[in-house]
Structure 1
Amino acid sequence: MRRSLPIFIGLRFTRSENANKFLSFISSVSMAGLILGVAALIVVTSVLNGFEEALSKKILGMVPQAAVYSSFPLDDWKPFAQVIENNDSNVIATAPFVQARGMLSLNGEVNSTIINGIEPTSHANVSILEQSMVAGDFDSLDSGANSIILGKYVVDKYALKLGDEVGIIISKPSNSTVGMTPSFHTYTLTGVFHVSQEIDKWMSYIAMDDASDAVGLNHGATGVRLNLKDVFTSQNSAKQALASVSSHASTLEGVEKSLRFSSGDWTQTHGSLYTSIRMQKTMMSLLLFLIILVAAFNVISTLVMSVTEKRADVAILKTFGASSSLISRIFIVQGAVIGVLGVIIGLALGIGLSLIIPSVSAWINVTFDLGLFDNYFVESLPSKIKLIDILLILIFSLVVVLLSTLYPAYSAAKVEPVQALKGE
């Protein structure tokens, strides 16, 4: 019974605050501050986690995570790929490619594009293109078939359908004084993919041999792209792949002595986006942690006022033999009830909002035609709840709340019965 006495009295003190409307209001404000602070922190971290995951799955599923580029077309790319895979356990798969910038000629208009020449069989191991097909056939990119796969955004914008002809304007080397001359090629639309508006708008895919011919290389790949286990070590993998290929180039059959290699990775093209997301997550988390601290100060204020109001009750308890430790624990329980309840409700609210925010944001965007995500690689606010984030927020919030009860509890324990009862 003695052990449960602080809990019993602390709960009675908490409920009895209804007699003082102002104190009850301050207590409610303190709890509301904790609820909103914890909920907002969970929602913000979940949304930014969602952006990180979308970046990793969508953007890094389409652009090369790392790649080695050759100064001359590689007639036989497989020995190069084998060397790369054998010397780096972080490399899951490799695929050849030819990449060039060009213009799509569509219904009398032109649209900038990045032309990717690929081999469907090997490309399926390094990209999510096959899984992103919404119409047509991924395997339609046969050499010499003059087929092309475009993004859904472009197809919808120009009202294209499978079987339509698509013109490509691309520069190729020439013997003229200009050095480069534009050439026009016609392809048949045989597939449509959808990843995000950004990717759909810029990417187009044709057979690798068709791309080689279009840029004046006859045939062969201009590089080998890598699919990595850990995309955040892409710089190391790119450097290692470059070193491996360069050191083995002279021993590989059919390699020209004038070949020169270079390497690159996704951090050079999209690294700033990832850094921005991480920085925003850090800054927003710090800001919302400060909001929780402010809410904790409200808890302190509530308890201090409660101690002042209940000085006579504390004095009576002490005259009946209550120790200073017992008095402290009573007010710790009172503060913990406000704080823990606020944290738990905030936790539930934050998780609930994080679960529905993707569908709600998508509905709002579509219903009111706001175009909020037109220039981004997502179509709604993404959300990913991580257990480690929830635990860190929970632990931090509970620690702050419990620490905020110590000073008021200490003040209550120092109340002198004689002095307190004089004013009654």
Structure 2
Amino acid sequence: MAFAAVERLIAFRYLRARREEGFISVIAAFSLIGITLGVGTLIVVMSVMNGFRFEMLRQMSSISGQLGVQGSRAGIDATPELLAAMTKVPGVLSATPTAEGQVMAVAGDKVRGVVLRGVRPEDFKARAPLSAAIEGPAELRDRYRGLCRADDDKPIDWGSLKDFGKDFSVVVGRRLADLLKLKIGDTFQLVSPVEVATPLGVVPRAVQARVAAVFCAGMYDYDANFVYAPLPDVQRLLNYGDMVTGIEVFVADDASLAGARRQLSQIVGTQAWVFDWWQANIGFFAAIQGQTNVMFIVLSMIVLVAAFNIVSSLVMLVRTKTADIAILRTMGATRGAIMRIFLLDGMAIGGIGTLLGLALGLAFARNIEAIRQWLQRTFDIVLFDETLYLLAEMPSRIEWNEIAVIAVMALVFALLASLYPAAKAARLDPVEGLHRE
């Protein structure tokens, strides 16, 4: 729709209300503010929800691989030949055997159920989310240590991986170390559900473990519940023999995922099944997507309500400009020209509000974690509890296609809200308008 220069001039003059039209200007201002807040809120909420879903999947896959191979109750015989065949699959970077089980961690009077996961020392060191806080590159190390900083900001002894693999030396999660009051060099007991016969009867098999290092993955589920130990030690404690419970497979990129999964399924045959982390947690991620969709619909109502204010302000503007419209019609202005003038007024309110909302929303979305930290320090409140949301930082991921949808939606609402007042102005009879005046 093309707007003539005179139509633009008249439309923008109408937006600058005179003193007697101040109430109309106030309603228009509220419309603009409503659209700004609605668009900005939508962008922030959608970015946080997208960030949460993306960060959860990224953390899971970077710790445990994009693909997993799960065996039967008897486990998987992860022979060197099997692992070599897996790594030869196009797109596969590595295939690492793991053995894990539920055990009880006992440290003094502290008792907690944990997941004991056995890995090879070289595999543990290769996983940045686990090893970065201990001995990663400086920038990565500082980032992960910052995720699990102490509440009193005292320095944390993260230990070293040089003893990992000796005498049941283990690496525990940072939050788990706090819960069990463990420090580097401390020993604690790991009690397995496997029973062993003794002169005193059948008792659970237990072992003394020594804390070699503390890891911080930035996910509460891992940091508070996982203990990593050398693979052979875990196999002995849980009575697995030479078998493993799973093989974690890392692939180069998502494009390689489907093809690698098919070929790996052919390699392992019937002794195991291959899954990806999205499939394994489909219910969890589907719930997040459902919440995202509901939030989008609910918050879109803010923009819709603001659009109704555009209707009110333009209807009142048409009433106050009845004489002007009549004069313009007698001077030769067409109904279409009158309609375009008031459409332009409504679209100007919607367009400016949308632009301000985009700027506000993107600014908040890009700095949401810094804003959260500032609010928590200033008002001494907890806005993002990692024990509930599983992540140490509030995530944010801007999806530009969603930003475009939000912007277009706001503009469409503004256009639709402007149609009725503009059509009413265009239908005004010039003789009747002059007679009223």
Q: TM-score band (shorter)?
A: 0.7 to 0.9
**CA shift at 1:33, angstroms?**
1.6
- Give the alignment of 1:105-254 within 5 angstroms: 105-125=106-126, 128-133=129-134, 134=145, 135-138=158-161, 140-142=163-165, 144-172=166-194, 181-194=203-216, 195-228=218-251, 241-246=264-269
Aligned letter for 2:211? L
Alpha carbons 2:35, 2:354 under 8 Å: kept:
yes
Aligned letter for 1:204? V
Which residue matches 2:391? Answer: 378
Which residue matches 2:403? Answer: 390
Unmatched tracts of structure 2, length 5 or more: 135-144, 146-157
Q: Of 284, 305, 309, which aligns to 1:298? A: 309
1:60–1:41 CA distance, 2 compared to 1 (3 A): same
Alpha carbons 2:100, 2:116 under 8 Å: kept:
yes
Once residues 202 and 50 of structure 2 are traced to their aligned partners in structure 1, the CA distance between those partners, rounded to angstroms, is: 45
Structure 2 counterpart SS, 1:122: helix
Once residues 65 and 47 of structure 2 are traced to their aligned partners in structure 1, the CA distance between those partners, rounded to angstroms, is: 27
Question: Structure 1 residues 406-415 or 355-364, which shifts more?
Answer: 355-364
Deviations 1:272-322 (A, max 9, x none): 332221111111112222322222222122212211221110111111222
Which residue matches 2:418? Answer: 405
Aligned letter for 1:77? T
Which residue matches 1:79? Answer: 81
Aligned letter for 1:171? P
- Give the alignment of 1:249-398 within 5 angstroms: 260-267=271-278, 270-365=281-376, 368=380, 370=382, 372-398=385-411
1:198–1:164 CA distance, 2 compared to 1 (3 A): same
Alpha carbons 2:196, 2:205 under 8 Å: kept:
no
Alpha carbons 1:94, 1:122 under 8 Å: kept:
no
Deviations 1:367-423 (A, max 9, x none): 626473323212343222222222221122123222332332222222211111011
Unmatched tracts of structure 1, length 5 or more: 248-259
TM-score by length of 1: 0.86
Equivalent residues, number = 407
Structure 1 counterpart SS, 2:239: coil
Alpha carbons 1:73, 1:219 under 8 Å: kept:
no
Aligned letter for 1:205? Y
1:390–1:333 CA distance, 2 compared to 1 (3 A): same
Alpha carbons 2:40, 2:361 under 8 Å: kept:
yes
Alpha carbons 2:47, 2:365 under 8 Å: kept:
yes
Deviations 1:107-126 (A, max 9, x none): 23211110000013234556
Once residues 133 and 243 of structure 2 are traced to their aligned partners in structure 1, the CA distance between those partners, rounded to angstroms, is: 26
Once residues 62 and 397 of structure 2 are traced to their aligned partners in structure 1, the CA distance between those partners, rounded to angstroms, is: 18
Structure 1 counterpart SS, 2:367: helix
1:364–1:239 CA distance, 2 compared to 1 (3 A): farther
1:335–1:375 CA distance, 2 compared to 1 (3 A): closer
1:85–1:112 CA distance, 2 compared to 1 (3 A): same
Question: Structure 1 residues 68-77 or 395-404, which shifts more?
Answer: 68-77
Q: Aligned-pair RMSD on alpha carbons?
A: 2.9
Structure 2 counterpart SS, 1:308: helix
- Give the alignment of 1:21-40 within 5 angstroms: 21-40=22-41
Alpha carbons 1:299, 1:404 under 8 Å: kept:
yes
Question: Structure 1 residues 382-391 or 163-172, which shifts more?
Answer: 382-391
**CA shift at 1:269, angstroms?**
5.7
**CA shift at 1:226, angstroms?**
1.6
1:229–1:281 CA distance, 2 compared to 1 (3 A): farther
Once residues 433 and 42 of structure 2 are traced to their aligned partners in structure 1, the CA distance between those partners, rounded to angstroms, is: 42
Alpha carbons 1:93, 1:226 under 8 Å: kept:
yes
1:243–1:75 CA distance, 2 compared to 1 (3 A): closer
Alpha carbons 2:17, 2:24 under 8 Å: kept:
no
Alpha carbons 1:359, 1:380 under 8 Å: kept:
no
Structure 2 counterpart SS, 1:189: strand
TM-score by length of 2: 0.83
Structure 2 counterpart SS, 1:337: helix
Q: Percent identity?
A: 28
Alpha carbons 2:195, 2:205 under 8 Å: kept:
no
